[in-house]
Structure 1
Amino acid sequence: MEKELSNVKSTYTVLDLFKTPVMCKTACCTMLVWFSTSFAYYGLATDLQGFGVDIYLIQVIFGAVDIPAKFVGILSLSYMGRRFTQGASLILAGSIVIINNFVPHDLTTLRTSLAVVGKGCLANAFSCCYLYSGELYPTVVRQTAMGLVTTMARLGAMIAPVVKMIGDSVSFLPMVIYGGMALFTGTLTFLLRETLNTPLPDTIEDVEGSG
């Protein structure tokens, strides 16, 4: 009861996310994960006309792939864990985006198929972000942290079209950047702790103790 009362009396700010080692690592990693997921997701979505397929058809396919992707995500989150699902989704998406960038343009079916799989992986990663990030942070700063990481996602969405403009000078560079960011942060995810079947932390001390 004394512990609960002390938590109620304390006030926390966004700075508390960076004052202790484990919290700082968690905050930095999740910020980058949210940024790159949104960055790659919207970067891929803005290049629909580059696949040589009817733009309306590819829009329908890109939207429909989210449904099976999220079902696969549910199974993976439940049985393989949050960290693996988050990291594997980003690494797979990043790899596909980079590989697809160097597939000949006349192979439209292959390029479209790879792009759809990559988009599905990013949709899965996005769904995982919400669940995984919420479980990583303690109750006292959970909403503050979620506000911070979702802001990073919006920042990624804003920067993605700007990076796309680089393609006017170097055609392959935007997709390499999108895929490279996803690969990097997917690897970074494995620095975080697994939260499957573990109790949610209530205080910053709980997170530091489990770090």
Structure 2
Amino acid sequence: MINTVVTQFNLVCDQQFWVPWMEAAYLFFNAVGFVIAFLADIIGRRITFLTFSVWGIVICLATPFANSPPLLFFLRCCRGLSSALSYIGINLVSELVPVTHRAAYGNVYWILWAFGYITCAGVAYLLQDWITIRLWSCAFLIVYLTYPVFIYESPRWLCMHGRNKEALVILKRIAWWNKAKLPVGYFDRVDQVLHAEYAHHLGQATVAPETLVLEKDTGTVSEIKSCVDLRPTSRANSNEVDESNDKCLDMLKFPNLRNRTLILCFMQSSITIVYFGLVTDNSFALENIFLNVLLMGLMEVPTSFIGWWASEYFGRRSSTSLLLILTGVAVLTTKLLGTAIPVLRATLALSGKFFVTVAYCVSDLYISELYPTTIRNIGLFTVIAVAGVASAVAPFVNKLNEINYYLPCLVYGAAAFVGTFSVYFFLPETKNCPLAQSVKQSEEFVHGKEKEWCEKMQRMQV
């Protein structure tokens, strides 16, 4: 690189502390952004998504013109806030995807991240100047300008807030866009289901409404088995769980859910510390920084598809545990080899990056399945926020090599192995299990009793 942040602002000697702090600030404010993203459950997915998009555009355009380390540090903090945009997007679209496709979608969603990763290496190699790189990267912000036109509010969120007419308008637009052939009166029936969904959310329905599935170009629609009998104050079955009373603090109130939250926070923290530790260590695999970033980006391309396959074949818990073990082994052996056998060292390093990235893909799906519907978004963002705070220590862990060459890999290896233990022995497997709808149902879903829980859920649905 001809001109870097370090060379432009002379971040050496007594100014060297700015480098890890700028990296850590971005990661820490990622977590703050995830907390702010809770607003998506209150004011809507679309407006929150667009607000984060505008914020991201402003900060990206301002960054190349930073003329001092403190100002650049401030802009890095602000940029970190907008990273929650990706997770708001995944929540927004997941509410439109059929249950049978969520495993595929939850993993493949991140494929464009990999292509962006690879592009960074090529752009940096060609331009060799951090300011020019930042200016050229702003060209990708053109995509953001299409969001107000193509991003709609979540019909499910609108339904849960009694805005059925708006939800119907959006569903009609989706049907038109997909050229779906629908029977006469279809949307009248959809309107009935939307009212039923809202009543069920308020605790005024005797039967949960079933989800409609629109099949492109076939003209078929899944049958609605019940139009839901509404009651003003109570349910027909007094034993049914009142989901409308579930609160976000129930994650800490109920012992099983509380323990699960703590384990998930530790699991995700282990993954993020290792992942961002490897990302911020530019010479982990190879001394050539451009080739290092390029190869690490290439390792990200197949991870989404491997994560999809692993979560379906081995299950979520087993996949996460196995991937963390493989990550720990790869990271430890990479450092132990030192500079000997460079080809083998690079292969092991890239394998470690590959395994932890697949674990990242699977864990996002796993976390969302372990929380009940009533608090799923808040549960997911809570875990990601805690992990985001933990990931902020990764740049400082890399600095431990100034004390001892092997310290960083020992920290990453230990995090991976302890994360494996906590996941495999304490969390339930969610593969082929129905999603819990309420906190009470989720509280009964424990490790070792998955089969009994699934049978009970099936009896409740009969």
Which of residues 187, 195, 200 is equivalent to 2:435? 200
Letter of the aligned partner of 1:141 in structure 2? I
Q: Tell whether the 8 Å contact from 1:17 to 1:145 is kept in structure 2 after alignment.
A: yes
CA distance in 2 between counterparts of 1:145 and 1:69 reads: 24
CA distance in 2 between counterparts of 1:51 and 1:62 reads: 8
Within-5 A mapping of 1:73-88: 73-88=307-322
- Does residue 175 in structure 1 map to residue 409 in structure 2? yes
- Does residue 148 in structure 1 map to residue 385 in structure 2? no
Within-5 A mapping of 1:64-143: 64-143=298-377
Please report how far the alpha carbon of residue 156 of structure 1 lies from its aligned counterpart in structure 2 after TM superposition.
2.6
Q: Tell whether the 8 Å contact from 1:69 to 1:123 is kept in structure 2 after alignment.
A: yes
- Aligned pair count? 208
Q: Which runs of 5+ in 1 are unaligned?
A: none
In the TM superposition, what whole-angstrom CA distance separates every residue of 1:6-56 from its partner, at most 9, and x where no partner exists?
Answer: 322x2512x311222221221011101111111000111222224444211
Higher relative contact order (CA closer than 8 Å, sequence separation 6+): 1
Q: Tell whether the 8 Å contact from 1:91 to 1:187 is kept in structure 2 after alignment.
A: no
Q: Tell whether the 8 Å contact from 1:98 to 1:180 is kept in structure 2 after alignment.
A: no
The more displaced of 126-135 and 67-76 is: 67-76
Residues 74 and 50 from structure 1, CA distance in 2 versus in 1: closer, same or farther, beyond 3 angstroms?
A: closer
Residues 109 and 92 from structure 1, CA distance in 2 versus in 1: closer, same or farther, beyond 3 angstroms?
A: same
Please report how far the alpha carbon of residue 147 of structure 1 lies from its aligned counterpart in structure 2 after TM superposition.
1.2
- Does residue 32 in structure 1 map to residue 255 in structure 2? no
Q: Tell whether the 8 Å contact from 1:76 to 1:85 is kept in structure 2 after alignment.
A: yes
Q: Which has the higher helix share?
A: 1
Secondary structure, counterpart of 2:444 in structure 1 = helix
In the TM superposition, what whole-angstrom CA distance separates every residue of 1:99-140 from its partner, at most 9, and x where no partner exists?
Answer: 211113132111111010110111101101110000001111
Which of residues 256, 280, 299 is equivalent to 1:22? 256
Structure number with greater Rg is 2
Residue in 2 aligned with 1:60? 294
Secondary structure, counterpart of 2:364 in structure 1 = helix
Aligned-residue RMSD, C-alpha? 1.5
Residue in 2 aligned with 1:158? 392
Letter of the aligned partner of 1:68 in structure 2? P
- Does residue 7 in structure 1 map to residue 243 in structure 2? yes
In the TM superposition, what whole-angstrom CA distance separates every residue of 1:47-74 from its partner, at most 9, and x where no partner exists?
Answer: 2224444211111110011122222221
TM-score, structure 1 as length reference: 0.93
Q: Which runs of 5+ in 2 are unaligned?
A: 1-205, 207-234, 447-462
The more displaced of 141-150 and 45-54 is: 45-54
Secondary structure, counterpart of 1:210 in structure 2 = coil
After TM superposition, the runs of 4+ consecutive aligned structure 1 residues lying more than 4 A away are none
Letter of the aligned partner of 1:122 in structure 2? V
CA distance in 2 between counterparts of 1:104 and 1:159 reads: 24
TM-score, structure 2 as length reference: 0.44
Residues 89 and 176 from structure 1, CA distance in 2 versus in 1: closer, same or farther, beyond 3 angstroms?
A: same
In the TM superposition, what whole-angstrom CA distance separates every residue of 1:136-167 from its partner, at most 9, and x where no partner exists?
Answer: 01111111111111102211321100111121
